[in-house]
């Protein structure tokens, strides 16, 4: 059972990582628009240079 003294602190580190990742996502507008990205796939246009640039930026 001694292993929990290692595993639980590890889970806490993962927790803080998850919190950090979500905060990062909120800060970078990932949750601002939850409706249009789903529609993007229906858009046949290749996308303007501007679109591609922002996509690259997000990655």
Partner 1 sequence: MATLIHSSGLDRYYDFRDALPERPDGVEAEAGRYAAWDRDAVLDFHTRRDGNDRRSIVLVLENVHCAACAWLIHRYLGQFAGVSETRLDVGDGRLRLRFEPDRTPLSALAAALDRIGYPPHLDTPDSGIDRDRNERRRMLRYLIVAALGMMQVMSYALANYIGAGSADAGGGMDPETEHFFRLISMLVAVPVALYAGQPFYRSAVNHLRQRHLGLDVPVAAAILLALFSSVLITLFGQGEVYFDSVVMFIFFLLLGRYAVMLARQQSGAVHSALARALPNQARRLTATGSEAVGLIELQVGDSVIVADGEVVPADGIVTAGEASVDESLLSGEAEPRARVAGDAVLAGSLVTGGSLQLRIEKLGSGTVLSGIVELLSEARRRRPRLARLADTAAAWFIALILLSTGLAAIYWWQTDPASVIPVVLAMLVVACPCALALGTPTALASATRGLALEGVLTANPDALEALPRITHVVLDKTGTLTEPGARLVEVRSGAGLAREEILELAGALERISSHPIARAFGPFDRGRRVEQAENIAGAGVSGVIDGRRCWLGRADWVAGCAGRRWVEPGDGIWLALLVEGGDEPAWLRVDARLRAGAQALVARLKGSGISVVLASGDREANVASVAQALGIEAFHAAMKPQDKLALVERLQREGARVAMVGDGINDAPVLAGADISIALAEGAAIARTQADLVSTGRDLNPLAVLFDQAPRVRRIIRQNLVWALTYNLGALPLAAAGLVPPWAAAIGMSASSIAVVLNARRLGKTRDRRPPARPAPRAALETA
Residues that bind partner 1 (CB under 8 A): 1, 4-5, 8, 11-12, 15, 18-19, 22-23, 26-27, 31-32
**Six token digits for residue 57:** 């930026």
Q: Which lies closer to partner 1 via its Cβ, residue 33 or residue 50?
A: 33
- Tell the smallest beta-carbon distance from residue 24 to partner 1 (Å): 11
Residues 6+ apart with CB under 8 A from 55: 47
- Tell the smallest beta-carbon distance from residue 31 to partner 1 (Å): 6
Q: How many DSSP H helices and E strands does the chain contain? A: 3, 0
């Amino acid at each position: 059972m001694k292993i929990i003294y290692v595993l639980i602190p590890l889970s806490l580190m993962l927790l803080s990582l998850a919190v950090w990742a979500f905060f990062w996502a909120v800060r970078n507008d990932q949750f601002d628009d939850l409706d249009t990205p789903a529609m993007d796939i229906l858009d046949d246009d290749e996308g303007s240079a501007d679109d591609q640039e922002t996509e690259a930026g997000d990655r």
